[in-house]
Chain A
Amino acid sequence: MATAGWQRRMAWVLGAVAVVGPLAAPNDYWIGVMARICLYATLALGLNIVVGFAGLLDLGYVAFFGIGSYLYAFLASTHFGLHLPFLLAVPIVVVLTAFSGILIGAPTLRLRGDYLAIVTLGFGEITYLLLINLDRPVNITGGPSGIIGIDPPAVAGFALSRNTQYYYLFLAALALTLLASGRLRRSRIGWAWQAIREDELAARAMGINTTVAKLQAFAIGASFAGIGGSFLASWQRSVFPENFLFTESINILAMVILGGMGNLLGVVMGATLLVSLPEVFRDLQRYRLLVFGLMLMVLMVFRPEGLLTLQGRHDEEAEPGA
């Protein structure tokens, strides 16, 4: 399809821009913004698996981001005195976060649409409350003051310190999750997810074990948040419950919807816009969120399917009766 062709070309151009981007950045602050774009794009791609591919409206996705961040903090900081090397800690975090996706996903399997949204919202809030309260009787999460003294990523004795280095690390993670998303989408599992999104009953009748397929979606989606969480923790060198508020879930969901649910390039563009626009409008001071909100509304009114749509959602006319 023609649309897929130009989207692929555009992806290559954007990839090239991303690689040389730091050279053009006016200052270190903007390189930090670019790193955040990559981080959030990774998270949005994870949520896209659950919401965009499988059609499961998850309003508590930030829980997995939080679980990933805190798990990394447990494994590589002065908090418990564990200092696992970065390349060992991240895979462990990813696997455990994927497992948490299965645990949280399992009770929601029979729920759909708005009911699923409300239950996942609850899970997100519970996770936040656990993070903020699990400092007593035994100090696990550090409570409201979080965990500090987290190890930076270090490979073979070389520790990352500058934003540019983090940027390339996050960009690599984004490339990897993009590749994974693309491969999954064009696979029997990806097709099963999309079938569930389109018509769950028909999907079951076509031989899809929807229990397994949904849990796979929750696990993969959560594992991306595990990557993002580890990276946030190691970049900030600290984690706080406030990093994982409900508004973050909505923010990430907005990236997915804004970009065009299910469309990988669109989701990355959604993340780019939602992270960078508030920075662009920084000069407007307290009006910036207002302007930002207005822009979102305008976009959703004029392009309700998102910036980039699912394959051919609106570019084909019904054939004249065959």
Chain B
Amino acid sequence: MALLETEGLTKDFGGLRAVHDLALRVEEGEIVGLIGPNGSGKTTVFNLITGLYRATEGRIRFDHGRRELVGLAPHVVTGLGIARTFQNQRLFSHMTVLENVLVGMHCRTRAGIATILLSTPGSRRERRRAEARAAELLGLFGDRLLPRAARPAWTLSYANRRRLEIVRALATEPRLLLLDEPAAGMNPTETRELMRDIERVRDRGVTILLIEHDMGVVRVICERVVALDHGTKIAEGRFEEVRQNPAVLEAYLGRRAGRA
């Protein structure tokens, strides 16, 4: 089985069926793109996988079929090794850049109230290690974030905030990283840099599922693409194949599809 596999995944909001009978498969080490017009259910799929929403029907299996995710609380899902970024940045604005990353390490550290209050050598060691690791992760983006580690997150530029969201997610030590429109609002230079960074993250052994509207990004870095429309999978395969698919053209351009 694949690292992540959904089966008959369905989510209803009252009368609205946001995701319908979705079979999604992500293999270990892949970069998979999830595309589709606005409102096609992409972010809902992320919210279902990460436990923020509970599936109306269907299964979500992680870790090669070993774990069922439906019904698990979000922090448990994160603990199992799935992290995400948000489409509309949700950084901890008044915490420093470094602290944002340290929050991500919460589920990989153990110190309890008593050991913290007593400041035991063990808890101090754990904190120093976490801080060093957080700095190391910030270094992933060269000198974009590391020199600003002590600043509040809200002082970062837009692109740097997107980068920090990725670092914060990586701090949870995920096996699967869900990126929700990582290139949104970035200029072409920043986008190129981002694509390299995403591939570097994958080369560290993190599988990536990403939602993206920038087809340039999807074409270059995604090995496989899944297209959604009205919560239903309408195409799947290599980007070039999916792009030619009549159902995809219709979803994006309307019935009287013109040029691709």
Residues of A within 8 A of B (CB): 1, 180, 183-184, 186-189, 191-192, 194-195, 198-199, 201-210, 216, 220, 310-313, 316-322
CB nearest neighbor in A for B143: A322
A208 to B106, CA, bound (A): 7
Task: Convert B154-166 into 0s and 1s, putting 1 for each residue whose CB lies closer than 8 angstroms to a CB of A.
Answer: 1111111000000
From 83 to 108 in chain B, residues with beta carbon under 8 angstroms from any chain A beta carbon are 83-84, 86, 90-96, 99, 102-108
Chain A residues within an 8 Å CB radius of B93: 198
Residues of B47-62 whose CB lies within 8 A of A? 50, 52
Within 8 A of A (CB), among B32-80: 50, 52, 73-75, 78-79
Residue of A with least CB distance to B92: A198
Q: Name the A residues within 8 Å of B220 (CB-CB).
A: none
> B150 at interface (Cβ–Cβ under 8 A)?
yes
Asked whether B103 lies within 8 Å of A191 as measured between CB atoms, the reply is yes
B187 CB to closest chain A CB (Å) equals 9
> Assuming A205-B86, A206-B106, A311-B152, what are 20 further A-B pairs, CB within 8 angstroms?
A187-B116, A188-B102, A191-B102, A191-B103, A194-B99, A195-B106, A199-B90, A204-B75, A206-B107, A208-B75, A209-B73, A216-B113, A220-B113, A311-B94, A312-B96, A313-B94, A316-B155, A321-B159, A322-B144, A322-B160
Q: Does B202 contact A (CB under 8 A)?
A: no
B90 touches A202 (CB 8 A): yes
The docked-state distance in angstroms from the alpha carbon of A205 to that of B75 is: 6
- Which 9 residue pairs spanning A and B have beta carbons closest together? A207-B107, A207-B78, A198-B92, A202-B90, A204-B74, A187-B116, A195-B103, A316-B155, A322-B157
* B117→A206 contact, CB < 8 A: no
Within 8 Å by CB of A188, from B95, B130, B154, B155, lies: B130
B75 near A187 with CB under 8 A, answer: no
Once A and B bind, how many residue pairs between them come within 8 Å at the CB atom? 129
Contacts of B86 in A (CB 8 A): 202, 205
Question: A210, B75: Cβ atoms under 8 Å?
Answer: yes
In the complex where A207-B75, A312-B155, A316-B155 touch, is A187 in contact with B96 (Cβ < 8 A)?
Answer: no
How far, in whole Å, are A310 and B151 apart by their CA atoms in the complex? Answer: 12
Interface residues of B in 118-168 (CB under 8 A from A): 119, 123, 126-127, 130, 144, 148, 150-152, 154-160, 168
* Residues of chain B contacted by A316 (CB below 8 angstroms): 151-152, 155
Ordered by A's residue number, 5 sampled pairs between the chains whose C-beta atoms are within 8 Å are A203-B92, A208-B75, A208-B106, A318-B156, A322-B144
Q: Is the CB of B92 within 8 A of A199?
A: yes
Judge if B109 is at the interface, Cβ distance under 8 Å: yes
Query: If the complex has contacts A312-B151, A319-B156, are A186 and B92 also in contact, measured as CB distance less than 8 A?
Result: no
A183 touches B119 (CB 8 A): yes
Residues on the A chain within 8 Å of B144, using CB: 322
Q: Which of B92, B104, B156, B160 contacts A194 (CB 8 A)?
A: B92
A316 closest partner in B (C-beta): B155
Kindly state whether residue B111 has any CB partner on chain A within 8 Å: yes
The residue on A at minimum CB distance from B178 is: A205
Please give, as numbers and ranges, the residues of chain B lying within 8 Å of A207 by CB-CB distance: 75, 78-79, 83, 104, 106-108, 172
Option from A183, A206, A310 in Cβ contact (under 8 Å) with B103: A206
Whether A205 pairs with B150 at a CB distance below 8 angstroms is: no
Q: Which residues of A contact B95 (CB under 8 A)?
A: 191, 194-195, 198
- Is there contact, CB below 8 Å, between B90 and A183? no
CA distance A81 to B168 in the complex (A): 57
Decide: A184 near B78, CB < 8 A? Known: A198-B94, A312-B151: no
A273 CB to closest chain B CB, in angstroms? 24
Distance between Cα atoms of A216 and B116 in the complex (Å): 13
How far in angstroms is the closest Cβ of chain A from B61?
A: 20
> What B residues does A220 contact at CB under 8 A?
113
The reply to whether A184 and B74 form a contact with Cβ atoms under 8 Å apart is no
Contacts of A206 in B (CB 8 A): 78, 83, 103-104, 106-107, 168-169, 172
A189 with B116, Cβ < 8 A, contacts A202-B90, A206-B106, A316-B151 known: yes
Q: Please, how many angstroms separate the alpha-carbon atoms of A209 and B77 in the complex?
A: 11
A205:B116 contact, CB within 8 angstroms:
no
The answer for the CA separation of A204 and B86 in the assembled complex, in Å, is: 13
Query: In whole Å, how far is B242's beta carbon from the nearest beta carbon of chain A?
Result: 29
Taken together as a complex, chains A and B put the C-alpha atoms of A205 and B50 apart, in Å, by 7
